[in-house]
Structure 1
Amino acid sequence: GGDKFYALDFIGLTDKAGYKSEWHNVTTKDGYILSLFRVPPNPASNNTQNKGPFYLQAALGGTGDLWVLFGQNRSLVYSLSDAGYDVWIGNLRGTYYSRGHTNMSAHDKKYWDFSLDEYALQDLPAFFDYIINATGQPQLSYIGHSLGSTIILMLLSDKPEYNSKLSVVIHFGTVYEFKRWDITRIYLYLLTEFFKIIVPGGLVKYPIQNKLVPAFIYYFCLINIITKRLCGYPFELALGADREEFDVSEEFVTLMCHYPAGTSSKVFQHYGQLIRSGN
């Protein structure tokens, strides 16, 4: 039904929580048209002073939905808005919010010819420049989760002039080196080898999505303990979680309906190169 979280996009989720939000389009220098969401400072809060822009970047295959899925009391976006921050949330190329291009279609194989470098050196600078221009503020704050942490480090290393545009950078679940062969590293390595076999060119979108997928996931994964295990096992591998602490609940299935939201298999191949090199 319309009141289910899995049926709502970012604007619908924020409206449901009682917050105003905006949808902006940003074009990168290489022609990708990306969606950028904004949640202004909450006028109903006690913090009347605008504390400036705060940018949030989700993990690999994630969108702005991940920051607002579970309502006012459990979403960082709303906490920052209540505290007086102007919150901006980027959606990297290839996710379902950011599949536009000035002269290509997302159905073209060439569209998916991107890796971590394009995330870091094309998408992030385009978002930052847009936010600084839109707000008139010389700096913004940054929070990155997992891949979001990786690509900001790549950007600041390759284009050090962006250091002056950031007042603070906060990392969650940072992925910047692969020195230890833990379960997550093994899982990513096997996944990259799988992509090399089935798509040698590495230019195929992941995952293949349509409107029926969220409803199927939502109802299939909650049928019984067997379907819960089937749905949860890939995440147990990827996250290194123990079964005793990993629960495929209704909330988790709601998360699955929004994630993963798409990327190129070439991104996994890039991760594979980092894993093999140990860097």
Structure 2
Amino acid sequence: MSFSLCIIFYLLTGAIAGLLAGLLGIGGGAIVVPTLAFIFLHNGMPKEHIMHLAIGTSLTAMFFTSFFSSYSHHKKGRVEWDILLKTAPGICLGVFVGAFFSARMNTDTLTIVFAIYLIFISIQMFLKKDKVTEKKHLFKDSKPTLAGGGVIIGLLSGLLGVGGGTLTVPFLTYLGKSVHKAIGTSAACGFLITIVGTMSFTLLSSEAKNLPEGSIGFIYLPAALGVTVMSSIFAPIGAKISGQLSPKVLLKCFSILLFAVAVKMLV
């Protein structure tokens, strides 16, 4: 695969990731990581680092995606900043621990773990109900609850290079938040995840050997730049659409796509 063709794929990946980030409140890593892994594999990059590069690059690329997405939701009053502040300590700790383990796993193990994650969220999305009925919640949005949830969300995000939206949105809606505010707050949480994740992967991969030219540790700059440019453009578009469009059909189609990607990664 030529370098120019790779750039085109990076741009297309960024456009799709940005649209999904704004529309569904997810970071886009569920699409970015497997797509980058596929491109890196067919571009002749060292196999032992393919998943590490895909995960590290995904977190870096989602920095601007999450920023523009969260800013767009903030302008529409959908970000609950007090929730973010209570969740932040857990997220920061979880992301660093997740990145630590991710950097030390081999590519085959990371591929299996990521595929299992995709299967889980694809089933979750496919079975997601269109309306949330009022019910009593076991947990309140207290500091311990939010910090604990932040650790789990951050751990998964740092380990697999995802923005955590597939956990953050259902977690916040379970605590009684509206879907739109959960999506907006999830986008803001994703922005924090990308900051800590990028710093963690840069630090933890500084001594890695046999990396492709143009990379800083497990962050491949050409891919990060290509994904960032398009995702920054499309994230606000997705955020605008999310307030006007019911995502039910899109969620089901997206879940089927993720399931297919997971099966492809396992076979």
- What is the TM-score normalised by the length of structure 2? 0.31
User: Rg bigger for which structure?
Assistant: 1
| Structure with a larger share of its residues in helix | 2
| Structure with a larger share of its residues in strand | 1
